[in-house]
Each structure stands twice: as structure tokens, then as C-alpha cells.
């Protein structure tokens, strides 16, 4: 079982190697507050545009609208993740104000609860009963990766968490849930005032339907890419980087969210610097010798799904 000391040990070793390499990582810790603000604005605009397409053109736009909204829900979740690490702005009040007003309640999240749970994920990575994001593997992996994936897709617990967020989560305070509900009440009142009842109802329906379907499918795949199929024993042994390019990456891992190993090794790196961090880490012995990097989702011997079926074929 992974321990707190093993997590810190992997981080300390990597940082020592970075220092010996010249400390080039320090530049990656610099924040550009305008970047996440612009990305949040883009996500809001894309979601409202998808809603407008359904309202003004018709239901034939629904499949595309669901894909767009679910993808932007995933992207906003990544912004929330950076806010949890204070990677939007190092000034905590500013960081939390941006996330609390524009991101967290929109995706049914309490920033305070998210930060606490995510800290446990980092510090107790892979520990049964300690890591809140741990996906329990079966005793023996199936012959085909799709069985592993569908097992999670049809998990009521996983779907519930992806759909309801903190509104349905155990351990979230009532004040946190009321805050989310109050934010939505105010936001929808403004939307009715400026866009009308039909647009607002379409927005709500599209938002909920996307979370219940496409968002759940994407998020399940994304979560399995992070750690599933690896053995606890350290950050380097239990976490992957997804060095994938192309449309699949834009859909599954917007905002560089696939560089999960790089993130765990140096959590203070903001999402827009993660590709550079990954390239830097690949020069280091600890990463080269022990890190897991996948360059594809489904095709080829290094595709991530191979690890979801490998033991059954050995």
C-alpha cells in the first residue's frame, strides 16, 4: 500500500534531480492569471453557443451540442482542479474568488470540499480507504479492456458522482450544497432575464443530459487513464502521462489534463505549462527509468487500454 512517505519520496527525488539539472523547472511555476480567465470565458461561450444552436436551429443539433457541452464541462473541471492547487493565482482570495464565482458551482462542486478531497488523493495515492479517487480493480483483469471500461461506466456509484457532483456526495457540508444551489438559482434567474425562458430551459436540459451521458463516458475514461491498471508503490509506479496528440486528446483530456504523472510530481505547475514540464521530466533518470508514458488511447502496444487487460493475457 502506498504511504505518505513514498509520495513525498518520489517528489523529493525528482526535485533533487531538477536542481542538479539547473533548476529549469522554476520558470514553469510562473502563473499567467489571464490564461485561465480567458479559458473560462471560452468555455462559457462555447456552452451558450451550443445551447443557442439547439434553440435556434433545432434538435438536429443536439448530438453535437451534447459533445461540446460535455467537453467543456470536462475542461471546466480541469480549471477547478488547478484552482484546488492555487494555480490560477497564488493569492488565495483571488484564486478562490474566480473559481467560486465562475467555475465550481457551475460544475456542482464546493471548492472547499474539492480541495480537501484532492489533497487526500495526492497524499494517500493508491491507498484503499484513503485515496478518494481510487478505482478498485477486479481480482483479475478481463481479456479485453472494454470490459474494464464498461464496468466503470455502469457503476451506479461512478455515475452518481459524475452526474450530481458534490450535490450528492457524502461528507460535503449542507452549507456547501446550499451554496451550489443558491448560485444556480441566481444564475438561472439572470439567464431568464437576458435570454428568456426557452433558452434557459434548453440550457438546463442540455447541461444535465450532457453530464448524465457524454460527460460520464469521457470522465470515466479520463479517470482510468490516470492510475487504473498500475500498481501502488509510489507516484512514478502508480501514475501515467498521456502524451497523446490529435482530436481524441482534445475530447478526453482538454487543458493538458492527460499529463497526470507530471502533475503529481510537481503539482504547482499550472495546466498550460504541463507539456513543457513533461518534456523536461523526460530528461531525468527517475522519470525515464520508472515513469509510465502512453502515446495512444486505443491502438498500439503502448496504448493505455493495454494495461486494463494485460494481466488477463499474461
* 139-147 contacts, C-beta under 8 A, 24 or more apart: 140/311, 140/312, 141/229, 141/308, 141/309, 141/310, 141/311, 141/312, 142/309, 142/312, 143/309, 143/312, 143/313, 144/309, 145/305, 145/306, 145/308, 145/309, 147/309
Q: What is the pTM of this model?
A: 0.94
Q: For residues 1 and 73, what is the distance between their CA atoms, to the nearest angstrom?
A: 33
CA atoms within 13 A on the CB side of 212: 6
Specify the pLDDT at position 138.
Answer: 81
Q: Per-residue pLDDT tens for 176-197?
A: 999 999 999 999 999 999 999 9
Closest CA to 15 of 257, 284, 271, 256: 284
Q: For residues 125 and 235, what is the distance between their CA atoms, to the nearest angstrom?
A: 8
Percent of the chain, pLDDT > 90?
Answer: 84
Helix (H) or strand (E) holding 242: strand 240-242
On average, the pLDDT of the chain sits at 94
Specify the pLDDT at position 1.
Answer: 44
Specify the pLDDT at position 313.
Answer: 38
CA angle 265/25/266 to nearest 5° reads: 15
Taking CA atoms, 196 is separated from 105, 187, 189, 209, 273, in Å, by: 22, 13, 10, 20, 40
Give residue limits of the domains in the chain: 4-313
Ranking 57-66, 196-205, 242-251 by mean pLDDT, the lowest is 242-251
Q: For residues 215 and 72, what is the distance between their CA atoms, to the nearest angstrom?
A: 9
pLDDT bin (cut points 50, 70, 90) of residue 209 is very high
Q: Per-residue pLDDT tens for 93-147?
A: 999 999 999 999 999 999 999 999 999 999 999 998 899 999 988 888 888 999 9
pLDDT at residue 280 above 50?
yes
The label of the residue with cell 473559481 reads 99
Specify the pLDDT at position 314.
Answer: 37
Ranking 64-78, 116-130, 135-149, 159-173 by mean pLDDT, the lowest is 135-149
Specify the pLDDT at position 312.
Answer: 38
Amino acid at each position: 500500500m502506498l504511504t505518505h512517505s513514498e509520495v513525498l519520496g518520489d517528489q523529493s527525488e525528482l526535485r533533487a534531480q531538477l536542481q542538479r539539472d539547473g533548476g529549469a523547472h522554476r520558470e514553469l511555476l510562473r502563473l499567467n492569471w489571464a490564461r485561465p480567465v480567458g479559458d473560462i470565458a471560452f468555455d462559457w461561450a462555447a456552452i451558450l453557443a451550443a445551447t443557442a444552436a439547439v434553440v435556434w436551429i433545432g434538435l438536429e443539433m443536439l448530438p453535437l451540442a451534447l459533445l461540446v457541452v460535455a467537453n467543456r464541462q470536462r475542461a471546466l473541471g480541469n480549471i477547478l482542479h488547478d484552482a484546488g492547487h492555487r494555480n490560477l493565482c497564488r493569492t488565495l482570495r483571488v484564486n478562490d474568488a474566480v473559481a467560486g464565482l465562475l467555475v465550481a458551482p457551475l460544475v456542482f462542486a464546493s471548492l472547499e470540499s474539492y480541495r480537501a478531497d484532492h489533497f487526500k488523493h495526492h497524499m494517500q495515492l493508491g491507498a484503499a480507504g484513503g485515496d478518494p479517487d481510487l478505482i478498485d480493480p477486479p481480482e483479475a483483469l478481463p481479456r479485453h479492456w472494454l470490459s474494464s471500461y464498461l464496468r466503470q461506466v455502469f457503476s451506479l456509484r461512478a455515475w452518481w458522482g459524475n452526474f450530481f457532483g458534490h450535490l450528492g456526495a457524502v461528507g460535503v457540508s449542507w452549507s456547501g450544497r446550499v451554496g451550489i444551489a443558491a448560485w444556480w438559482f441566481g444564475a438561472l434567474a439572470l439567464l431568464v432575464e437576458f435570454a428568456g425562458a426557452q433558452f434557459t430551459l434548453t440550457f438546463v436540459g442540455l447541461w444535465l443530459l450532457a453530464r448524465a451521458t457524454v460527460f460520464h463516458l469521457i470522465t470515466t475514461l479520463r479517470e482510468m487513464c490516470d492510475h487504473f491498471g498500475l500498481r501502488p508503490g509510489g507516484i512514478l509506479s502508480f501514475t501515467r502521462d498521456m502524451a497523446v496528440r490529435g482530436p481524441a486528446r482534445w475530447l478526453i483530456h482538454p487543458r493538458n489534463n492527460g499529463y497526470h504523472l507530471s502533475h503529481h510530481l510537481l503539482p504547482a505547475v499550472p495546466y498550460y505549462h504541463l507539456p513543457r514540464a513533461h518534456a523536461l521530466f523526460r530528461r531525468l533518470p527517475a522519470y525515464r527509468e520508472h515513469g509510465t508514458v502512453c502515446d495512444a488511447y486505443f491502438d498500439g502496444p503502448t496504448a493505455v487500454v493495454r494495461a486494463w487487460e494485460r494481466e488477463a493475457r499474461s
